[in-house]
Structure formats: structure tokens, C-alpha cells
Amino acid sequence: MERRHDLAGADHADRVQARREHDAQDRILAMGADQLDARPWRPAPAPPTAADLVHYALWRAADLTPAELLSALGLIRAAKAEIEGVESGLLFVARSEGLTWAQIADVMGFRSPQACQQYVQRLTARQDKQR
């Protein structure tokens, strides 16, 4: 019974967070972000990503109301998840193309290939948990 209650609470929290992010996206799109040019690497009619919207809000920072600023801050979690997805994808491609863990660790600033591999394992685990 306790586990079911915990799951229900987590599900409710997820729905609240999703609603908050959706409202934040709507607010920032209404500020003019809906006029951003399409990105050639995303098929149309894909809307701007959370990372795009956060960047847009920062670019418009001088004009933001407190509510708009809070909306942008509310999208940070989603933007981080998007960036982690991009990072994970690039790491997968790099390894698929034969780059070594030593090369990847060096360019990403890790002290060792093992530290880089451990980081990637944690990154992948976080993404699996979010799905």
C-alpha cells in the first residue's frame, strides 16, 4: 500500500511539473519565441525546444516581467534534459566512429578515460530513469 501511495504522489508531481513546463512554454512562445526560425536539423513543424526558449528568454532578459522570468527558470530542468540527450547522442556517435575513451575524456576535460566512462554511465542512467 505504501508503494502505491508513493507512486501516486510521484505521478501527481510529474503531472504538476509537466503542466508548469507547458504553461512556461506557452508564455515564452507568446513573448515572440514562436517567431524563431526553424532549425534545419529538426523536421517541421517542430516547435522550439525548451533550450531554445530558455535562450530566447535570456536574450530578452531586459524586457522580462517577473512572471516571464519565472517561466524561463521553470524550463531549466527540461532544457538540461534536452542537452543531456544531445550529449548522449554525440557520445554514442563518437564511440561508433571509433574515437577512444581517452580522446573523448581529453576533449571533455575528464582526468581519465575511466572517469569519462563513469560519467557516461551516470548520464545514461539518468536518461533511462526519465523515460
49-106 tens-digit pLDDT: 999 999 999 999 999 999 999 999 999 999 999 999 999 999 999 999 999 999 999 9
| pLDDT value for 32 | 86
Residue 69: name the closest of 102, 107, 110, 27 by CA.
27
Tell me the pLDDT tens digit for each residue of 4-44. Answer: 666 677 688 888 888 888 888 888 888 888 888 878 888 77
Q: How far apart are CA 5 and CA 11, in angstroms?
A: 10
Cα 122 to chain centroid distance, Å, stands at 16
pTM: 0.75
- Grid cell for residue 36: 524563431
Return the domain boundaries, the chain.
Answer: 2-79
Q: Which amino acid is at 58?
A: L
